[in-house]
């Protein structure tokens, strides 16, 4: 008689607890592992994803972002969109956090930076704080976390357009800049083609193809994440190819990274506190958190070249933004994946309690 195979030995209790903690935190999610892999691959082969590559990465990622917003628009009916736009308190909070709370917080910490090196570092941090929110990643994270998607699209889009005016205004007040208005309007036109028009086209086609988009929203979500991985890969390839990190010791980068963690957590606390104080719903709190706490690496790179042409310290100017960009994607991905798996009755506070080490 054949004896049944014995079950595999259970993992040690400590390893079980570790795996459970990693799963709750979202650290075993394929998307987060893909983000880490994209950065590592960019470090190993930076030329493959940089401007010198024969592959037209910019056209690919631009088309990918446009498709993201087209399919988001396809899943939005005009009624849902109008309902989202009427939520003016949420929109005011997100834009005030993005363009007022961030720069004011940087100004409050200005006295802590002394000497020429300290002043240059503060200028780069202040530049980061004046930038608009991300577009594609903010909306993707809100979608994954099951937040208020119409409001997220509106806030991410309007933030990008407002940034064309407000980022040069803030930097002209406290930094020495040189901006060409024609280039700024060209940036506005690019955002219109890449973001606004695809959303409008999708909304107009909602009645005919909206049901199709809803049936395949799981596959569309995976395609969204693949586009984000391509954006991260090409952005880090360009930075490594230009040697942005070469002139900084690992300890300097680590210390600056800790500062960016502090900035992220401070803004997170402000957004969370305001959202609770104003009585926002779970969906609106998610949208406020993901849209209000992010800064755009794409816009920052473009704005740096427009506002500081020929500046020798452009690498230093972009270093805090690069660190903050990586941090916000990793933390936001963990949080979005966690929230997306939770019942609607639970809120973002559970993320902190379930990932805390006992």
Closest CA to 351 of 112, 78, 141: 141
Stretch 179-199: mean pLDDT: 66
**What is the CATH T-level fold of the domain 29-351, as seen in this structure?**
Na+/H+ antiporter like fold (1.20.1530)
pLDDT band of residue 128 (cuts 50, 70, 90) is: very high
The structure tokens listed for 128 are: 């980061």
Higher pLDDT, residue 357 or 257 = 257
* Cα(75)–Cα(269) distance, integer angstroms: 31
Q: Tell me if the pTM is above 0.85.
A: no
Closest CA to 296 of 65, 84, 90: 65
In the predicted structure, residue 263 carries a pLDDT above the cut 80: yes
pLDDT in the model for residue 277? 92
The structure tokens listed for 157 are: 């889009």
pLDDT digits (tens, 9 = 90+) for 267-306: 988 998 899 899 998 889 989 989 999 898 767 776 776 6
Long-range contacts of 58-61 (CB under 8 A, 24+ apart): 58/234, 60/230, 61/227, 61/230, 61/231, 61/234
What are the structural domain ranges in the chain? Answer: 29-351
pLDDT in the model for residue 351? 46
């Amino acid at each position: 008689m054949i004896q049944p195979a014995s079950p595999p030995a259970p993992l040690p209790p400590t390893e079980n607890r570790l795996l459970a903690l990693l799963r709750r935190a979202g650290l075993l999610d394929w998307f987060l592992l893909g983000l880490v892999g994209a950065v590592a691959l960019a470090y190993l082969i930076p030329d493959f994803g940089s401007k010198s590559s024969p592959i037209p990465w910019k056209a690919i990622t631009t088309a990918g972002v446009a498709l993201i917003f087209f399919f988001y628009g396809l899943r939005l009916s005009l009624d849902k969109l109008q309902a989202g736009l009427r939520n003016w308190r949420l929109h005011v909070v997100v834009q005030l956090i993005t363009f007022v709370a961030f720069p004011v917080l940087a100004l409050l910490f200005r006295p802590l930076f002394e000497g020429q090196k300290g002043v240059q570092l503060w200028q780069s941090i202040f530049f980061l704080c004046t930038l608009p929110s991300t577009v594609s990643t903010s909306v993707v994270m809100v979608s994954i976390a099951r937040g208020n998607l119409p409001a997220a699209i509106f806030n991410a889009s309007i933030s990008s357009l407002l940034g064309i005016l407000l980022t040069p205004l803030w930097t002209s007040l406290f930094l020495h800049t040189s901006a060409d208005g024609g280039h700024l309007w060209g940036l506005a036109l690019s955002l219109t083609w890449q973001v606004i028009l695809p959303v409008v086209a999708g909304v107009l086609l909602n009645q005919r193809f909206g049901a199709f988009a809803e049936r395949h929203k799981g596959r569309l979500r995976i395609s969204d994440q693949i586009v984000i991985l391509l954006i991260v890969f090409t952005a880090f390839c360009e930075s490594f190819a230009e040697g942005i990190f070469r002139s900084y010791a690992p300890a300097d980068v680590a210390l600056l990274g800790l500062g960016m963690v502090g900035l992220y957590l401070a803004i997170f606390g402000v957004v969370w506190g305001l959202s609770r104080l104003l009585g926002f719903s779970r969906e609106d709190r998610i949208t406020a958190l993901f849209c209000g706490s992010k800064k755009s690496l794409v816009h920052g790179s473009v704005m740096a070249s427009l506002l500081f042409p020929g500046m020798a310290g452009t690498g230093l100017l972009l270093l805090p933004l690069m660190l903050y960009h990586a941090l916000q994607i990793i933390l936001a991905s963990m949080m979005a994946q966690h929230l997306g798996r939770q019942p609607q009755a639970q809120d973002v506070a559970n993320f902190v309690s379930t990932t805390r080490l006992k």
